[in-house]
Amino acid sequence: MKRLTISFISFLTALFGWGQTTAIPVYLDETKPIEQRVEDALARMTLEEKVAMCHAQSKFSSAGVPRLGIPENWMSDGPHGIRPEVLWDEWDQAGWTNDSCTAFPALTCLAATWNPEMAALYGNAIGEEARYRNKNVLLGPGVNIYRTPLNGRNFEYMGEDPYLAARMVVPYVQGVQSNGVAACVKHFALNNQEQYRQQVNVEVSDRALHEIYLPAFKAAVTEGKAWAIMGSYNMYKGQHCCHNQYLLKDILRDLWHFDGVVISDWGGVHNTQEAIYNGLDMEFGTWTNNKDWGDSNAYNAYYLANPFLRLIREGKVKEDALDKKVRNILRLAFRTTMNSKRPFGSFATPEHAAIGLRIAQEGIVLLKNSPLTPKKTDVVLPVDFNKTKKIAVIGENAIKIMIIGGGSSSLKSKYEISPLEGIKQHVGDRAEVVFARGYVSDQLNKKGEIKHDGMFINDAIDARSRDELLSEAVATAKNADLVIFVGGLNKYNGQDCEGSDRKGLELPYEQDKVIAALAKANKNLAVVIISGNATAMPWVNDVPAIVQTWYNGTEAGNALGAMLTGEVNPSGKLPFSFPVKLEDVGAHAWGDYPGAKANGGIHERYNEDIFVGYRWFEHRKIKPLFAFGHGLSYTSFAYGKAHISAPSLSEGETLTVSLPVRNTGTRTGKEVVQLYIGDEQSSVVRPIKELKKFLKIELQPNETQEVSFTLSVEDLKFFDENAQQWTAEPGKFKAYIGSSSSDIRQTVGFELVKR
């Protein structure tokens, strides 16, 4: 290490022509504080060099300062894997042969693990992959709240609850940044739909903003110490969020003291003056002067390029406005590309695939596993090989490639194990596995090919009619001991895909008809839904077993196969509620999704306010199809009596809620113990209860563990719009402890008092 340092100094001596006694410039001296290095580098830069750092020079890079040895910034789309290289000025892939990554599970799966340890593993592994590919900014994770099940981009986010998302995002960010790669948390803020995303002006109360839509971002910044934030496409208070004074200056900078860079979403900048003064640092993807996206001359016409430079030269904008941005960008460089202690990373390794497999296994949710008849106790899952010698796997999603499509999170993975492959591998020679397609998607082009992000998938073509496919599926099901239907959504436009929302809650391609027919053909039926969103299930009472899984990446099939055969005991819990019908969702029952045209734009009112997800269902006394936090196991857990350490709590104090949890089944399993708080005496309308703590534990058969949660006044607060601050009112509160938001096993009361 000593010899390496001497060599580096020799290199600098040769590069800058220093004599042996010349000191290293402050900005290159890593022993100096970062802020001192930033100021030194800033003082050495020309006006043109500073402006060049504030806007893109290619699709995914921005300029450094070669004269000073400050590298370029290189971004990569995430948050589920490192995107394949694209051409300098185009979206098409560059055709590299060494950029096939590990595809990690979608963030809905990570959230469904309810395990921050998995988030830390995920962040570190994807950070290693980004570092190996020499990216210094990972464009992820996403933490926008699941407001409607129609949002095409929900699969990239962490569910409907702000506390769950906050607890999962912090270790993810820390893991990524431990590799010298900035996590760029997105999309800040209120980007809760894809329809009208570039123009919708969101109207939401301050209370809902702070209680529901901001907490995960706040945790990423104040606890995770995120080095980058990406603005969102939509508008708030009449300003685009990529240069929104209230969000980027008043909240992000002044309230949360964010010292990282604010990066625009690609094409999210619309105004030079607002971009200069309202908190944006780096502009990407802008379409200027009616030029094509691929026109390399367009970069100098960006809002923060020549127009910015011209305003400074003309004296209409002070250079200090530019310096504020460049300071943030230089700070990014010193934390990433100019940090000599950055690890080298690793890429598409077996270790990373194994991490993705662990996350996928912990995130799969067993929604239902009922006895076949009321008088019997046997269930469909896990597969009983004493009774099962022939398994029929039916459904296009069993063979479909899922790592590509979906928009910016589309990947080129080293490999992807399909559900059919995974089931076959884990069944082995214990049973025969046969396949029938059952249904076919219809995103074919004129040549009869399916195209995803520049890649043609010819093996997905099936010219048979839906009736022919259904007849084959039913016949196959009748001759099997067990039927596993693998369907759900995919990542085509109008399904789970950036740039478009779903048209409805139902399954596409007449899958409901297929499932109903299979249920009549064979009572031993397990339905596996792959999606990033809730779906309607009109057949729910006719199917004994239902599994919710996700876009689980490289090892998706192996994770599913291990769960179905019982090698892995399912432990995932839903990160969002499943409604029976779309009208049961607050954004559709009371809000005006997707917005209405008024005053020359699209305006959308979040009339449901703080009542999002389970908060809405409980407030309106609506029974969900499956509740937030729900998830079954192949074992069972008993909750003992809850105890509280003190009957009251006051400012500066804490109290403890504890209870024993025992594994009463015959298998080792994991349970997520969830604690919710309800305010019994509030002066404002509050949810019946809100998630405030959770813990995932693993228990052997007959093992008991004491689970404890510590509560403080912070856990009791709501956002007071009049005072513009978080407030807790004295009075009675109740702690609800259970296995889901609707499966509460214990309650205990206490009081908040003034001492």
| Active site members | 265
* Residues 69 and 382 sit within 8 Å (Cβ to Cβ): no
Look-up: residue for tokens 């980058």? 228
Distance CA 452, CA 441 (A): 13
Give 137's strand partners.
75, 182
Query: How would you write 348-362 as a 3-class SS string?
Result: CCHHHHHHHHHHHHH
Task: Tell me the one-letter amino acid at 359.
Answer: I
Nearest to 514 by CA among 563, 479, 477, 547: 477
Using CA atoms in the order 28, 30, 36, 41, what is the torsion angle rounded to 10 degrees?
20
No. of helices (H) and no. of strands (E), the chain: 18, 30
DSSP 540: G
Give 435's strand partners.
393
Question: Beta strand 648-649 with 637-639: parallel, antiparallel or unpaired?
Answer: unpaired
What are the start-end ranges of the E strands in 584-653? 596-598, 601-605, 637-639, 643-644, 648-649
SS3 state of residue 344: coil
DSSP-derived secondary structure for 422-478: HHHHHHGGGSEEEEE---------TTS--EETTEE-GGG---S-HHHHHHHHHHHHH
DSSP-derived secondary structure for 345-407: ---S-HHHHHHHHHHHHHH-EEEEE-BSSTT---BS-S--TTT-SEEEEE-GGGT---SS-SS
DSSP 69: T
* Residues 92 and 293 sit within 8 Å (Cβ to Cβ): no
**Residues present in the chain in total:** 755
Nearest to 281 by CA among 238, 233, 324: 324
Q: Where are the alpha helices (DSSP H) in 525-676?
A: 556-564, 586-589, 614-619
* Residues 720 and 208 sit within 8 Å (Cβ to Cβ): no
As to burial, measured by CB atoms within 10 angstroms (0-12 exposed, 13-18 middle, 19+ buried), residue 406 is buried
Nearest to 193 by CA among 156, 222, 246, 248: 156
Distance CA 236, CA 500 (A): 20
Distance CA 189, CA 467 (A): 45
Distance CA 714, CA 728 (A): 8
Query: How would you write 4-48 as a 3-class SS string?
Result: HHHHHHHHHHHHHCCCCCCCCCHHHCCCCCHHHHHHHHHHHCCHH
Longest distance between any two alpha carbons in the chain, whole Å = 90
* Residues 663 and 669 sit within 8 Å (Cβ to Cβ): yes
In our burial notation (b when 16+ CB lie closer than 10 A, e otherwise), range 177-192 reads: bbbbbbbbbbbbbbbb
* Residues 466 and 376 sit within 8 Å (Cβ to Cβ): no
Q: Which residues, other chains included, contact 355 with Cβ-Cβ below 8 Å and sequence gap of 6+?
A: 104, 121, 122, 125
